[in-house]
Amino acid sequence: MFESGFMEFFSHVHPVTPLVIYVPIVGYMFHLAVGQRGQPLSGVAGLFAIGLLIWTLVEYTMHRWVFHYEPRSHWGKQFHFLLHGVHHDYPNDASRLVMPPVVSIPLALFFYLILLGIFRGLAPAVFAGLITGYLFYDMVHYATHHFPMKRGVWLWLKKYHMRHHYQDDHFGYGVSSPLWDYVFGTRAPRGEEKALSEFVVTSDH
């Protein structure tokens, strides 16, 4: 994707990489909230849930209005291809399905500063929820492209995301949750995921 071998190296990410980086951070955030600040577990659980909810909105917003922004300039189109277009052209590229740390780490710092400004001393528990939501998103995204998700909610999520790729990318911006697709009216028309059932089964490997 890049002429520079240095840039090319950093564009490939093993799917376990986000877990290695962020699971310890989630643990440290819990340590800050409970161990150092003595916040009650019930309160931490509530703040954690708020962080999860915030992540679902961040995921939807970024996917719809950043990843699927349609630039008109030459440079804008090139940047968009690097950001998300390459994923739609090569959706099963296993090394480009989770967010590269060179992107995710600055974004994590950015959101942590925002949460600090809003929640002050309660921010660690909220941030732990947000990061856990991000990890769930990355893992679900990888799984929908490479794991045989053949029953229950996992199959539903797979079909939901495959429809976004192979039928109409103007619907189904939620990957780990369809919540905001319902809120903003971008959920796929009912019944259309059924048409993907055979495709999903035969494409698993």
Task: Tell me the mean pLDDT in the region 118-147.
Answer: 94
Average pLDDT over residues 95-119: 89
Which pTM does this prediction carry? 0.82
Distance of CA 108 to the CA centre of its chain: 12
Q: What is the pLDDT of residue 148?
A: 82
pLDDT value of residue 99? 82
Domain count, the chain: 1
Largest pairwise CA distance in the chain: 53
- Is the per-residue pLDDT at 8 higher than 50? no
Predicted pLDDT of residue 28: 97
Alpha-carbon gap, residue 150 to 110, rounded angstroms: 37
Distance in angstroms (rounded) separating the CA atoms of residues 162 and 126: 31
Range(s) of the domain holding residue 123: 5-203
Q: Which of 50-64, 84-98, 171-185 has the lowest mean pLDDT?
A: 84-98
Question: Which residue is listed with tokens 């079909």?
Answer: 159
Query: Other C-beta atoms within 10 Å of 165: how many?
Result: 16
Give 16's DSSP letter: T
Which CA distances in Å does 26 have to 20, 76, 132, 135, 201? Answer: 11, 35, 7, 10, 35
